[in-house]
Amino acid sequence: MSLPASLVIPLFTLSLIHGVLISSISQAQSPILPFVEEAAVRGLDLFTNSGGSTGAGIALVDIDLDGDPDLISTNGGSNLSIFENDGSGFFIDRSPNSSPLGLQTMSCLALGDVDGDKDLDIFVGCYFAHDRLLLNQGNWQFTSTDWTPANSELDYTRTNGASLCDLNGDDWLDLIVACGSGTPIQNANRLFVNDGTGFFIPVDVPVLQLSEPTFQIMPFDYDLDGDLDLYVSNDRGLNFGFFNRFLINNNGTIGNPLTIFPSVAVDSMGVCVADLNLDAMPDIYVTSTADPHPLLINTGYFQYEDLSRDYGVNLGVVSWGCLFFDHGLDGDLDLLVADSNAPDRLYENGNATMWENIAPQTGLENPGFSACWVKGDIDGDGDIDLINQSLWENLKVFVQQGTPTKNYFRLRPLYQPPNYHGIGSRILVYAENMELIFTDQKTTGRNYKSESEWIFHHGVPEGKTITAVEVIYPDGSLRRFIDVPMNDTWSLPHPFLLGDPDADRILTAAEFSAMCSMRTTAQNPIQSGFEFFDFDGNFIIDEIDMIDFVKKAEWGDQDCNGNGISDFIDIFSGFSVDSNGDRIPDECFPAFIRGDLNLDFSVDVGDSSLLLSFLFQNNPLPCLSAADLTRDNVIDLGDFACLAEFLFAGGPPPSSPYPDCGNPLTALSCADRSCP
């Protein structure tokens, strides 16, 4: 499937407006919380080389899907380091032998499930060397694979950045590669479409093949129409007039930008996107080598205002990566910027119009050649930790100390395979009276050359609670969650996954039993993992959810005990016992004696006659378990032989439950064929 360039789409108009008053959405400024650098203590001793002198790339993502973020780090050369998080923020080296992987001058990372098996694969961009795709085989094993047609030379580029996202709406992650220049043409930006197996087909999209040096291409739904558009960050705009570009996705077609409107022309490297003023529209920050570092506030219909000077975030020397995160979990977004020629900056979003650089007070005033920052809760204590990659230095791990004193949420939308991790999902979080307190979109390539933890982690403004969360999934469906508990991590599964957390499209007796154990009570509150059985999204697992589960399973309704209540509800509510997990209450089967087929509490010739009529005339039996004398879960002539030998030849009595075995007559239900 190709994505040709076609319809010309207008760019945004950039207005430089000075002296504009900014409406503050912040709460009272919180105490400044310092970070402590703990890389060596936590098992990380990683040195980074040049990687083309523009950065190398790190990823703080959950590789083994156990709920905590693991670490992948390039070193700018040929060594790829992979570390498993032990669950408490200490790291175990799982690095592969890099030689068979064929890695050289690594310059960026992109993560995504390219083959639809739910685990995360690794795209490694290399600087004037062959880019590599490492398929995750599980158990920390990765294999380098041929990911695009041989001899295309398209995998040998000046790769600066990459992103894996679904651009054509088929749920398979496609690949965008940002390159340093379009001369020669194979070094231009490229789009590769996933063919549905994890193999990528190059697509000719001339609008991407720029002569401008591109550092980062940020996918996001900028026009809020349900698909992912692209924002292209180009270097050398100050001297050569290269503009950053919006490329709008129209139902899978990447359109040409109009160049007649003014746009950002700076030495653009890193890009980060967030909704700063909570109007449900994405705003954009761009790093550069001079004033301004534009902060583009979205005013709608692709109209933006550069308010970087008004916010006080316009200055910098040679800046690279950037990210928005909620430092201190006070409910607003702060801005962290990497710089190679000046200390890094952390701009605190407070009540004042001007944001304050608090990097010196927090310990983040990194003085070296800082390139990449990523965020995530490394130690599982509920706050946001940071990792920095600077060239010609060791990796730095900045841990927020203590446990949060403010309320927060950690939310993870999940979608149906092959896009199980829900890339492209939008989230909106509301407080009382549907006041929007957070919105974002789950995309990859969010950080310069790097990936942060794939969880929306943010503070709840003081005095507020979460009353509703809305998720718009990649297929356009919307699901609403209410009364979301704070201070925990929750999955937000697409309806496809409800009742079926393994996504195998089959609702099983085991999943029914699991759901029965999750019924929420005062003594059994909802826990992480229960969300897959919360059909109505109210964070209570109750009879309403069970009814929806049974309906989705298409099991029909049954009331074998005749009490007017579904057997499934009887079992779920604890009114009935289902000791063998067959979804039928035990009381629906009478107690039995093995061999007593007619349930008259004796084993005699009448039982043998009944068994023969079952075997040869297909007449029903009152109790199949009583007829299984050989205990092989099959009713056949072998059972008749055992019964006849006992009755007519003085053979041994049937196995228990049988009175001579010392077991009471009610020792076993007809629903259970085994012997106690």
Boundaries of every domain in the chain: 8-400, 408-557, 589-661
Residue 458 has pLDDT above 50, yes or no: yes
Nearest CA-CA partner of 9 in 248, 299, 229, 204 = 248
Q: Which of 209, 228, 230 is nearest to 218 (CA)?
A: 230
User: Which band of pLDDT confidence, cut at 50, 70 and 90, is reported for residue 20?
Assistant: very low
pLDDT of residue 260: 30
Q: Cα–Cα distance between 153 and 370 in angstroms, integer?
A: 31
- pLDDT at residue 205 tops 90: no
> Is pLDDT at 407 greater than 60 in this prediction?
yes
Radius of gyration of the chain (CA): 31
Query: Distances in Å between the alpha carbon of 336 and those of 400, 465, 599?
Result: 15, 27, 77
Lowest mean pLDDT segment, chosen from 78-82, 86-90, 241-245, 466-470:
241-245
Mean pLDDT, the chain, integer: 86
In whole angstroms, how far apart are CA 579 and each of 138, 298, 555, 563? 35, 59, 19, 19
Question: Which range among 96-110, 214-228, 376-390 shows the weakest confidence by mean pLDDT?
Answer: 96-110
Q: What are phi and psi of 631, to 5 degrees?
A: 55, 40
Kindly state the helix (H) or strand (E) to which residue 311 belongs, with its residue range: helix 308-311
| pLDDT reported for residue 240 | 59
Question: Does the pLDDT at position 167 exceed 50?
Answer: yes
List of residues 6+ apart from 103 with CB closer than 8 A:
78, 79, 80, 124, 126, 129, 132
More confident residue, 602 or 349: 349
- Identify the pLDDT of residue 238: 59
pLDDT category of residue 254 using cuts at 50, 70 and 90: confident
pLDDT tens-digit map of 148-158: 886 556 666 78
Name the token pair of 670: 């007809």
pLDDT at 448 over 80: yes
Residue 312 CB coordination number (10 Å): 16
DSSP 150: T
- pTM (two decimals): 0.84
Predicted local confidence at residue 328, as pLDDT: 93
Tokens of 305: 């205002």
Report which of residues 566 and 668 the model is more confident about: 566
CB atoms under 10 Å from CB of 629, counted, come to 26
- Looking at the domain covering 8-400, what would its CATH class be? mainly beta
Sign of torsion over alpha carbons 614, 618, 621, 626: positive
Could you name the CATH architecture of 589-661?
Orthogonal Bundle (1.10)
Least confident of 54-63, 65-74, 246-255, 407-416: 246-255
For the residues 269-286, what does the mean pLDDT come to? 94
Whether pLDDT at 7 is above 50: no
CB 385 within 8 A of CB 378: yes
C-alpha closest to that of 5 among 255, 172, 174: 255
Residue 119 has pLDDT above 60, yes or no: yes
Q: Which pLDDT score is estimated for 330?
A: 94
Q: What is the model's pLDDT at position 442? A: 98
Residues 44-99: tens digit of each pLDDT: 999 988 656 688 899 999 999 999 999 999 987 788 999 999 999 999 999 987 66
Q: What is the pLDDT of residues 297-317, one digit of tens each?
A: 998 877 888 999 999 999 999
Most distant CA pair in the chain, distance: 107
Handedness of CA 302, 305, 308, 310 (dihedral sign): negative
Retrieve residue 587's tokens: 């009381």
Residues 224 and 226: their CA atoms lie apart, in Å, by 6
